[in-house]
């Protein structure tokens, strides 16, 4: 049986969904649209039913793209796709508003269960609901009182669902004659008036208010104050970033060293050969490259879910909306964009909360321009190479200033591109920002845990496959090449007198450099030299650019291999090696202008296949990630060219 | 006066909502002619504002609040 869970936003619908399904949730697609469909398994007396978590809305008539799925599910989809039973979650403090949508569900002819949630809070506010009178008004719908946050009333709800599965009774009344077409605005307004009159009449003798409670806004005034509001928001973000950077490093190191250990072990039991190479250098690093993102995703979503569940996020959105609106962004874009400064992957995944599709798309599109933590090793290496260690005005470190400038360049560019997209992209309909600011609540750990779990699961199962596949292809291209060419190159290397005088480890390094040079990627890297010469790069840098498409930080490792610095872990060694590299004409390879050109290149270039995979997953199309790849690539090239010619 | 002209703490009654789509959306949420509202919060730089009605704190954008005509109520009424 197909059961749908309906409700207004902020009525505790997700809490009830989590309560009923636990870990047995999955993310799919609503047919024909690009909106995620969250569903789970509800087990009742051994039978399994599909429970669909329908987006929270106030009315069946949508005010944005995502909300269209509700209308579609109930009215315009083929009957076999429609739910057999609906559970409507109503907030006891706002029964009238919930009954609006409920009355539309009644008119769909759907058997229903009405959950009145958070009655304890309503009673504290002096709102009393006459259960009998309400049950009389909706005689065919079981009405269940719940306090879902503490798990109270779950058994009653299950019993009501069982009853409705057995009986399948729907209300006989019709509040409005028929549901209107989506574009029939006048009809919808008329219908809404009719429904409100009906609700007013129904609730007249059902809900009584014994005292008038005045909502206090002292705390909210501080949180949205022009000075303290921004200060508190910055402080919270600062704390989150501290946690992401300091805590994520331990599990990330553990994952990488764990897989490193596994590789060593396989190498020790498996004979050298293509299978061992595929496992140890292709597949295992590929899996490790997917899993290594989990700590960052987990920690960031832990905090985002905490902010959301407690109610603070709505205040932050309220505070930030005005600042980002000129760029076509929404107040809800701010946390995803700032999260992207740790890693664009959770940033892109966090855009789910942006109700307007155009604003969400713009946020996803520009998120990779925010400088993420994977750029740090590239930037620090290059800054150390080409920016002199000196102080300006005696206090400002020039190197630090350049790093800061690169971050600012990323942010300014993101806003600029957002603004351009805002001008270019058409809005299908006027959008409204109508957001309820919920009261503060003690966060519910189960909800937070399930959010973190869901995000990690979606990333590993849906983006992980693409990342793994492409990284194996990249590995193969970097480790294989035309064998004749490679053998000849190795042979001529061995004959040089310089090679013969080297130690064993140094010989190994030189061999690896020659092998990479003569791999498929090396050949491509050499092939693109005419293309990258104008922006100041030689073919060795070209190879590092291509390999670092897997992930930006690979740039450092590839340079290390190609320049045969021998010891990958010794940055000092690599630094000196690179510093002394000379072009055939005797000039230094890493000159100031090449270095700056490369840094600007890395500010823009879409050098992260994991981000591309996640953007594909979130936009459900290859169109947007491909556009990012091309557009940011062009910006990187142009930026690099300008820097190379200016400096 | 218009909703975005209210000061924080002011109580008012909705008189008219000029924008068609917005009027329907608000009506669906139970905000219509005669609904009493209290302005609770204003975001800096003419950002969104939040008003309470019934038991809800709802935020809308400054420009959208411009299409809502209200009548200020005397605090003791």
Token pair of B27, please? 């009506």
Q: How close, in Å, is residue B5 to chain A by CA atoms?
A: 17
Instruction: State chain A's mean pLDDT as an integer.
Output: 90
Three-state DSSP state, A4? strand
Q: From residue A584, how far is each of A431, A581, A589, A629 by CA, in Å?
A: 59, 10, 9, 32
R_g over Cα of chain A:
30
- Which among A162, A193, A209 is the end of a domain? A209
User: How far is Cα A602 from Cα B14, in angstroms, rounded to an integer?
Assistant: 54
Subunit contact A215:B55, Cβ cutoff 8 A: yes
pLDDT 10s digits, B4-61: 999 999 999 999 999 988 999 999 999 999 999 999 999 999 999 999 998 899 999 9
DSSP codes joined into one string, chain B = -BGGGPPTT-EEEEEEE--HHHHHHHHHTT--TT-EEEEEEE-TTT--EEEEETTEEEEE-HHHHTTEEEEEPPTT-
Q: How close, in Å, is residue A437 to chain B by CA atoms?
A: 5
Q: What percentage of chain A reaches a pLDDT higher than 90? A: 61
Compare CB distances from B58 to A188, A230, A434 and report the shortest one's residue: A434
pLDDT interval class at B77 (50, 70, 90): very low
Instruction: Return left, alpha or beta for A240; rule: phi > 0 is left, psi -120 to 50 is alpha, else beta.
Output: alpha
| E strand map for A135-251 | 143-146, 207-209
For residue A435, the surrounding DSSP H or E stretch is: strand A434-436
Q: From residue A321, how far is each of A114, A217, A327 by CA, in Å?
A: 35, 20, 11
Chain A hits for B47, Cβ within 8 Å: 318-319, 321-323
Other Cβ atoms closer than 10 A to A428: 10
Subunit contact B61:A321, Cβ cutoff 8 A: yes
Q: Interface of chain B against chain A, CB under 8 Å?
A: 8, 20-30, 32, 40-48, 50, 52, 54-62, 64
Subunit contact B27:A189, Cβ cutoff 8 A: yes
CA angle A213–A217–A222, rounded 5-degree value: 165
Q: Which residues contact A180 (CB under 8 A, 6 or more apart)?
A: A61, A187, A188, A191
* Whether pLDDT at A19 is above 90: yes
Compare CB distances from A188 to B24, B45, B60 and report the shortest one's residue: B24
pLDDT 10s digits, A497-534: 878 888 887 888 888 888 888 999 999 988 999 999 99
Q: Which of A119, A224, A234, A439 has the most B C-beta neighbours within 10 Å, making it the best mutation to test the interface with B?
A: A224
pLDDT 10s digits, A170-185: 998 888 878 888 889 8
Using DSSP bridges, classify how beta strands A85-91 and A112-117 pair: parallel, antiparallel or unpaired. Answer: parallel
* Whether pLDDT at A566 is above 50: no
* Whether pLDDT at A549 is above 90: no
pLDDT interval class at A553 (50, 70, 90): confident
Subunit contact A318:B59, Cβ cutoff 8 A: yes
Compare CB distances from A433 to B42, B45, B48 and report the shortest one's residue: B48
A220 located within any domain: no
Q: Which of A116, A120, A192, A438 has the most B C-beta neighbours within 10 Å, making it the best mutation to test the interface with B?
A: A192
- Complex ipTM value: 0.96
Average pLDDT over residues A431-443: 89
DSSP codes joined into one string, A379-431 = HHHHHHHHS---EETTTEEHHHHHHHHHHHHHHHHHHHHHHHHHHHSPPSS--
Q: Interface of chain A against chain B, CB under 8 Å?
A: 58-59, 61, 63, 93-94, 96-97, 100, 122, 125, 127, 185, 188-189, 192-193, 196, 213, 215, 217, 220-221, 224-226, 229-230, 314, 318-319, 321-323, 331, 429-430, 432-439
pLDDT for B16: 96
pTM: 0.90
Average pLDDT over residues A604-614: 94
Return the closest-CA partner of residue A414 out of A349, A352, A357, A340: A340
Subunit contact B54:A59, Cβ cutoff 8 A: no
Q: Which of A102, A121, A191, A437 has the most B C-beta neighbours within 10 Å, making it the best mutation to test the interface with B?
A: A437
Chain A hits for B40, Cβ within 8 Å: 215, 217, 220
A174 located within any domain: yes
CA angle A192–A198–A201, rounded 5-degree value: 140
CA A452 to chain centre: 12
Subunit contact A430:B21, Cβ cutoff 8 A: yes
pLDDT 10s digits, A337-388: 999 998 999 999 999 888 888 999 999 999 999 999 889 889 998 999 999 9
Q: Cα(first)–Cα(last) distance of chain B, in Å?
A: 18
Q: How close, in Å, is residue A104 to chain B by CA atoms?
A: 11
pLDDT for A567: 47
Chain A hits for B52, Cβ within 8 Å: 215
Could you tell me the residue range of the domain that residue A582 belongs to?
464-646
- Which among A158, A177, A209 is the end of a domain? A209
Q: How close, in Å, is residue A339 to chain B by CA atoms?
A: 23
When mean pLDDT is compared across A8-17, A141-150, A372-381, A566-575, the lowest value belongs to A566-575
A224 located within any domain: no
User: How far is Cα A486 from Cα A477, in angstroms, rounded to an integer?
Assistant: 13
Q: How close, in Å, is residue B63 to chain A by CA atoms?
A: 10
User: How far is Cα A15 from Cα A330, in angstroms, rounded to an integer?
Assistant: 26
pLDDT for A119: 92
pLDDT for A352: 87
User: How far is Cα A308 from Cα A302, in angstroms, rounded to an integer?
Assistant: 10
Subunit contact A319:B25, Cβ cutoff 8 A: no
A291 located within any domain: no
Q: Which residues contact B49 (CB under 8 A, 6 or more apart)?
A: B3, B4, B39, B41, B42, B43, B59, B60, B62, B65
A433 located within any domain: no
State the virtual CA torsion across A481, A482, A484, A489 in degrees, nearest 10: -40
Count interface pairs A-B at CB distance under 8 A: 122
Q: How close, in Å, is residue A123 to chain B by CA atoms?
A: 12
Nearest chain A residue (CA) to B59? A435
- DSSP 8-state assignment for residue A55: P
**CATH for A44:** 3.40.50.300
Specify burial of residue B28 (Cβ count, 10 A radius: 0-12, 13-18, 19+).
Answer: buried
A468 located within any domain: yes
Q: Which residues contact A499 (CB under 8 A, 6 or more apart)?
A: A493, A507, A510
Compare CB distances from A224 to B43, B52, B54 and report the shortest one's residue: B43
Return the closest-CA partner of residue A346 out of A474, A241, A229, A420: A241
Compare CB distances from B28 to A59, A220, A314 and report the shortest one's residue: A59
Average pLDDT over residues A571-595: 84
* Whether pLDDT at A641 is above 50: yes
Chain B hits for A58, Cβ within 8 Å: 25, 28-29
pLDDT 10s digits, A415-427: 999 999 999 998 7
pLDDT for A570: 54
User: How far is Cα A86 from Cα A168, in angstroms, rounded to an integer?
Assistant: 10
Subunit contact A189:B20, Cβ cutoff 8 A: yes
Cβ atoms of residues B39 and A215 within 8 Å: no
Average pLDDT over residues A239-259: 88
Compare CB distances from A217 to B29, B40, B44 and report the shortest one's residue: B40
Domain total of chain A: 2
CA angle A624–A630–A632, rounded 5-degree value: 95
User: How far is Cα A175 from Cα A194, in angstroms, rounded to an integer?
Assistant: 8
Average pLDDT over residues A214-226: 88
Average pLDDT over residues A210-239: 89
Subunit contact A432:B22, Cβ cutoff 8 A: yes
Q: Which of B20, B26, B29 has the most A C-beta neighbours within 10 Å, making it the best mutation to test the interface with A?
A: B29
- Which among A209, A240, A266 is the end of a domain? A209
A77 located within any domain: yes
Token pair of A398, please? 């020039």
A272 located within any domain: no
């Amino acid at each position: 049986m197909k059961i749908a869970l309906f409700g207004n936003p902020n009525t505790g619908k997700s809490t009830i969904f989590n309560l009923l399904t636990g870990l047995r949730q999955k993310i799919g697609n609503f047919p024909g649209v690009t909106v995620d469909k969250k569903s789970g398994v509800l087990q009742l007396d051994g039978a399994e039913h599909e429970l669909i978590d329908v987006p929270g809305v106030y009315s069946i008539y949508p005010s944005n793209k995502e909300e269209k799925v509700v209308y579609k599910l109930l009215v315009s989809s083929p009957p076999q796709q429609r739910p057999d039973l609906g559970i409507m979650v109503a907030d006891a403090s706002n029964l009238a508003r919930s009954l609006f949508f409920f009355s539309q569900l009644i008119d769909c002819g759907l058997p229903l269960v009405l959950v009145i949630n958070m009655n304890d809070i309503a009673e504290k506010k002096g709102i009393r609901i006459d259960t009998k009178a309400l049950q009389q008004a909706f005689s065919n719908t079981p009405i269940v009182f719940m306090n879902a946050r503490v798990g109270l009333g779950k058994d009653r709800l299950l019993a009501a669902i069982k009853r409705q599965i057995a009986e399948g009774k729907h209300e006989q009344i019709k509040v409005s004659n028929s549901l209107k077409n989506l574009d029939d605005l006048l009809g919808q307004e008329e219908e809404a008036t009719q429904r409100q009159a009906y609700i007013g009449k129904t609730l007249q003798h059902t809900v009584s208010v014994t005292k008038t409670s005045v909502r206090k806004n002292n705390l909210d005034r501080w949180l949205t104050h022009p000075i303290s509001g921004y200060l508190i928001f910055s402080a919270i973000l600062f704390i989150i970033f501290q946690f992401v950077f300091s805590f994520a490093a331990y599990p990330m190191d553990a994952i990488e060293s764990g897989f490193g250990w596994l590789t060593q072990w396989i190498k020790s039991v498996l004979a050298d050969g293509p299978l061992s190479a595929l496992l140890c250098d292709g597949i295992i690093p590929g899996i490790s490259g997917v899993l290594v993102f989990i700590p960052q995703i987990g920690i960031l979503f832990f905090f985002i879910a905490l902010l959301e569940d407690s109610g603070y996020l709505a205040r932050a959105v309220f505070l930030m909306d005005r600042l980002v609106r000129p760029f076509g962004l929404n107040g809800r874009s701010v946390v995803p964009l700032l999260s992207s400064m740790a890693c664009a992957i959770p940033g892109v995944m966090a855009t789910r909360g942006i109700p307007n599709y155009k604003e969400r798309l713009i946020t996803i599109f520009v998120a990779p321009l925010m400088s993420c933590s994977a750029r740090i090793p590239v930037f620090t290496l290059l800054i150390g190479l080409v920016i002199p260690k000196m102080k300006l005005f005696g206090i400002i470190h020039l190197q630090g200033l350049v790093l800061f400038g690169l971050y600012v360049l990323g942010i300014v560019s993101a806003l600029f591109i957002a603004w351009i997209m805002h001008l270019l992209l058409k809005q299908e309909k006027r959008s409204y920002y109508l957001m309820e600011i919920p009261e503060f609540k003690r966060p519910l750990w189960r909800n937070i845990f399930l959010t973190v779990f869901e995000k990690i699961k979606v990333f590993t199962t849906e983006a992980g496959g693409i990342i793994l596949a492409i990284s194996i292809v990249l590995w193969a291209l970097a480790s294989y090449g035309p064998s004749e060419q490679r053998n000849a190159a190795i042979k001529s290397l061995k004959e040089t007198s310089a090679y013969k005088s080297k130690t064993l480890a140094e010989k190994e390094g030189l061999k690896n450099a020659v092998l990479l040079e003569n791999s498929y990627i090396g050949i491509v890297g050499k092939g693109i030299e005419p293309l990258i010469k104008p922006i100041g790069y030689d073919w060795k840098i070209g190879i590092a650019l291509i390999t670092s498409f897997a992930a930006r930080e690979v740039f450092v490792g590839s340079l290390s291999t190609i320049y045969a610095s021998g010891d990958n872990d010794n940055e000092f060694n690599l630094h000196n090696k690179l510093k002394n590299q000379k072009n055939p004409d005797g000039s230094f390879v890493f000159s100031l202008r090449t270095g700056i050109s490369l840094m600007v290149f890395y500010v823009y270039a879409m050098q992260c296949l994991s981000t591309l995979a996640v953007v594909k997953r979130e936009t459900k199309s290859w169109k947007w990630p491909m556009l990012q790849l091309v557009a940011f690539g062009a910006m990187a090239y142009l930026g690099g060219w300008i820097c190379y010619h200016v400096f | 006066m218009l909703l975005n002209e209210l000061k924080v703490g002011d109580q008012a009654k909705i008189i008219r909502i000029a924008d068609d789509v917005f009027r329907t959306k608000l009506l669906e949420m139970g905000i219509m002619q005669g609904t009493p509202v209290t302005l609770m919060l204003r975001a800096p730089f003419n950002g969104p504002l939040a008003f309470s009605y019934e038991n809800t704190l709802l935020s809308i954008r400054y420009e959208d609040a411009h299409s809502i005509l209200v009548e200020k109520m005397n605090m003791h009424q």
